[in-house]
Chains A and B, each alone.
Chain A
């Protein structure tokens, strides 16, 4: 079946602009995660959604970052007033979910964000 998809694959934006990154999880997966990969910080967790529960935002680096998940499926990560340090590959992952059992996470191809 279809895997996790992300769009756009590449995004170049000017410093100070807002950007939106989209993630379509695997159908039926209730858990959705955002991570980012940058040269200086490696792979780091940003935010997590489980079903209709309030998201875990503990990994967001600043209040310029926000995310929402509509209808328990598609998610959008928004970065306001982008800065050069936001340049990274943003990765989305999904899993079958559940709060008492851990499941394997599957990753999308990522969105490469470049802030000029």
Chain B
């Protein structure tokens, strides 16, 4: 199956700082999603972004499909941004079932 690698695995930021999370994948994909898993375990959809750039408030994401990577930018971080961020990809041949990376665990301190 497709391999998904996320970096860094852990990140500690002071409130107000900016950060970039990276997702590399091993093959061409049809779908790519970024999620934030909150402390209660719920996966919150951040972006559906198989290619291109999107922005939503303080968050933005860019996927360069030809180079097989995606980036998630968090600006002016807040303590509520803490949690685990997952990148997940899928392909047509597997019904677009998502292959997840191991996640980036983010802690934003006051």
Name A's B-contacting residues (CB within 8 A). 31, 33, 35, 37, 42-45, 48, 50, 56, 58-59, 89, 91, 93, 95, 99-100, 102-107, 109-110, 112
Contacts and interface: CB of A to CB of B under 8 A. Distances in A.
Contact of B102 (A33, A42, A58, A100): A42
Contacts of A103: 31, 96
Interface residues of B, number: 24
B95 A48 contact: yes
Interface of B: 30-31, 33, 35, 40-43, 45, 48, 50, 86, 88, 90, 92, 94-100, 102-103
Contacts of A35: 98, 100
Given A43-B86, A43-B88, A105 B41 contact: no
Secondary structure of the A contact surface, majority rule:
strand
A42 B104 CA distance: 12
A100 B35 CA distance: 23
Nearest to A53: B95
